[in-house]
Amino acid sequence: MENLSAIKRIENKVKQIPDAISLAQGIPAFSSHSLIQKEVIKAIMNNKVDKYSPIQGIPELRLIISEKLQLSGMRYDTNTEIIVTAGGIEALSATMLGVIQPGDEVLYLSPAYPYYERIIRMAKGRPVPIPLNEKAGWNLDIDLLKNKITGKTKAIILCNPNNPTGSLLSKKELVTIGILAQRHKFIIISDDIYENFYYKEKPFNLCSLPQFRKQIVRIVSFSKDFALSGWRIGFVHADKELIKKILPIHDCLVNCAPVVSQYAALAALKNEKIILSEYMKIYAKRRLLMGNYLEELSDYLSFIWPGGAYYFFPKIIGVVDSESFCFDILEKVGLGTVPGDDFGPGGKGHMRLCFGKSDSEIIEGMKRLTTYFKKYHMPKPMI
Amino acid sequence: MENLSAIKRIENKVKQIPDAISLAQGIPAFSSHSLIQKEVIKAIMNNKVDKYSPIQGIPELRLIISEKLQLSGMRYDTNTEIIVTAGGIEALSATMLGVIQPGDEVLYLSPAYPYYERIIRMAKGRPVPIPLNEKAGWNLDIDLLKNKITGKTKAIILCNPNNPTGSLLSKKELVTIGILAQRHKFIIISDDIYENFYYKEKPFNLCSLPQFRKQIVRIVSFSKDFALSGWRIGFVHADKELIKKILPIHDCLVNCAPVVSQYAALAALKNEKIILSEYMKIYAKRRLLMGNYLEELSDYLSFIWPGGAYYFFPKIIGVVDSESFCFDILEKVGLGTVPGDDFGPGGKGHMRLCFGKSDSEIIEGMKRLTTYFKKYHMPKPMI
Q: Which residue type, as a one-letter code, is found at position A219?
A: I
Q: Could you tell me if B216 and B174 are in contact, meaning their C-beta atoms sit under 8 angstroms apart?
A: no
pTM exceeds cut of 0.90? yes
Residue-level pLDDT at B382: 82
pLDDT digits (tens, 9 = 90+) for A175-223: 999 999 999 999 999 999 999 999 999 999 999 999 999 999 999 999 9
What are the beta bridge partners of residue A189?
A: A157, A217
pLDDT digits (tens, 9 = 90+) for A142-151: 999 999 999 9
Averaged pLDDT for residues B157-178: 96
DSSP string across A36-52:
HHHHHHHHHHTT-SSS-
pLDDT digits (tens, 9 = 90+) for A298-356: 999 999 999 999 999 999 999 989 999 999 999 999 999 999 999 988 899 999 999 99
Q: Does A132 touch chain B (CB under 8 A)?
A: no
Q: Do A119 and B252 touch (CB under 8 A)?
A: yes
- The DSSP element (H or E) to which A164 belongs, if any, is none
Q: Could you tell me if A37 and B45 are in contact, meaning their C-beta atoms sit under 8 angstroms apart?
A: yes
Instruction: Report d(CA B169, CA B159) in Å as an integer.
Output: 9
- The DSSP element (H or E) to which A146 belongs, if any, is helix A142-148
pLDDT digits (tens, 9 = 90+) for B249-307: 999 999 999 999 999 999 999 999 999 999 999 999 999 999 999 999 999 999 999 99
What are the beta bridge partners of residue B106?
A: B127, B155
Q: Could you tell me if A87 and A223 are in contact, meaning their C-beta atoms sit under 8 angstroms apart?
A: yes
At residue A93, does pLDDT exceed 50?
yes
Averaged pLDDT for residues A227-254: 97
**How is residue A222 annotated by DSSP?**
S
| Class of CATH domain B34-270 | alpha beta
Instruction: Report d(CA B233, CA B226) in Å as an integer.
Output: 10
Instruction: Report d(CA A290, CA A134) in Å as an integer.
Output: 20
Q: Do B229 and A89 touch (CB under 8 A)?
A: no
Instruction: Report d(CA A80, CA A76) in Å as an integer.
Output: 8
Averaged pLDDT for residues B312-335: 95
Q: Are strands A351-354 and B126-131 parallel, antiparallel or unpaired?
A: unpaired
Q: Do B89 and A230 touch (CB under 8 A)?
A: no
Q: Are strands A351-354 and A338-339 parallel, antiparallel or unpaired?
A: antiparallel
Cis status, amide bond into B111, omega within 30 of 0:
yes
Residue-level pLDDT at A120: 98
Instruction: Report d(CA A326, CA A2) in Å as an integer.
Output: 16
Instruction: Report d(CA A60, CA A366) in Å as an integer.
Output: 43
CB count in 10 Å sphere of residue A323: 16
Averaged pLDDT for residues A127-137: 93
CB count in 10 Å sphere of residue A355: 29
At residue A2, does pLDDT exceed 60?
no
Look at residues B213, B210, B219, B221 and name the one whose alpha carbon lies nearest to residue B241: B213
Q: Does A147 touch chain B (CB under 8 A)?
A: no
CB interface of B with A, residues 286-345, below 8 Å: none
Residue-level pLDDT at A379: 87
At residue B234, does pLDDT exceed 80?
yes
CB interface of B with A, residues 27-46, below 8 Å: 27, 30-32, 37, 40-41, 44-45
Residue A270 to chain B, least CA–CA distance (Å): 19
Q: Does A360 touch chain B (CB under 8 A)?
A: no
Q: Does A115 touch chain B (CB under 8 A)?
A: yes
Band (B331; pLDDT cuts 50, 70, 90): very high
Contacts of B45 in chain A (CB under 8 A): 37, 41
Please report, for residues B52, B128, B159, B313, the alpha-carbon distance to residue A18 in angstroms, rounded to integers and kept in the order given.
Answer: 20, 52, 45, 57
Q: Does A142 touch chain B (CB under 8 A)?
A: no
At residue A1, does pLDDT exceed 80?
no
Residue-level pLDDT at B1: 44
Phi, psi of A154 (to 5 degrees): -115, -25
Alpha-carbon Rg of chain A, whole angstroms?
21
Distance of alpha carbon B205 from the chain centroid: 15
Chain A residue with Cα closest to B119: A252
Band (B45; pLDDT cuts 50, 70, 90): very high
Q: Does A204 touch chain B (CB under 8 A)?
A: no
At residue B379, does pLDDT exceed 90?
no
Band (B166; pLDDT cuts 50, 70, 90): very high
Averaged pLDDT for residues B186-214: 95
Length of chain A: 383
Residue-level pLDDT at B380: 85
A6-32+273-373 — its CATH code?
3.90.1150.10
Averaged pLDDT for residues A43-61: 96
Q: Do B32 and A44 touch (CB under 8 A)?
A: yes
Q: Do A32 and B49 touch (CB under 8 A)?
A: yes
Cβ-Cβ contacts under 8 Å for B287 (sequence gap 6 or more):
B199, B305, B306, B310, B355
Look at residues B46, B309, B315 and name the one whose alpha carbon lies nearest to residue A41: B46
Q: Could you tell me if A357 and A178 are in contact, meaning their C-beta atoms sit under 8 angstroms apart?
A: no
Please report, for residues B89, B172, B174, the alpha-carbon distance to residue B132 in angstroms, rounded to integers and kept in the order given.
Answer: 23, 16, 14
What are the beta bridge partners of residue A85?
A: A234
Q: Which residues of B178-190 are buried (b: 16+ CB within 10 A; e: fewer)?
A: bebbeeeebbbbb
Look at residues A271, A245, A237, A270 and name the one whose alpha carbon lies nearest to residue A85: A237
Q: Which residue type, as a one-letter code, is found at position A194?
A: Y
Out of A52, A228, A249, whose CB is closest to B229? A52
Q: Which residue type, as a one-letter code, is found at position A16?
A: Q
List chain B domain ranges.
6-32+273-375, 34-270
CB count in 10 Å sphere of residue A345: 12
3-class state of residue A260 by DSSP: helix
Q: Does B250 touch chain A (CB under 8 A)?
A: no
CA dihedral A25, A114, B238, B35 (to 10 degrees): 40
Residue-level pLDDT at A272: 97
Instruction: Report d(CA B218, CA B88) in Å as an integer.
Output: 10
Residue-level pLDDT at A27: 86
ipTM comes to 0.95
Please report, for residues A49, A69, A84, A211, B86, the alpha-carbon distance to residue A78 in angstroms, rounded to integers and kept in the order given.
Answer: 20, 10, 11, 20, 25
Mean pLDDT of chain B: 95
Instruction: Report d(CA A245, CA A356) in Å as an integer.
Output: 35
Q: Which residue type, as a one-letter code, is found at position B366?
A: M
| Class of CATH domain A48-270 | alpha beta
Packed helices B272-295 and B34-45: angle between N→C axes, nearest 10 degrees: 140
Distance of alpha carbon B150 from the chain centroid: 27
Averaged pLDDT for residues B237-245: 98
Mean pLDDT of chain A: 95
Residue A69 to chain B, least CA–CA distance (Å): 23
Pick among 3.40.1280.10, 1.10.3210.10, 3.90.1150.10, 3.40.50.2300: CATH of B6-32+273-375: 3.90.1150.10
Q: Are strands B311-312 and A338-339 parallel, antiparallel or unpaired?
A: unpaired
Q: Could you tell me if A194 and A355 are in contact, meaning their C-beta atoms sit under 8 angstroms apart?
A: no
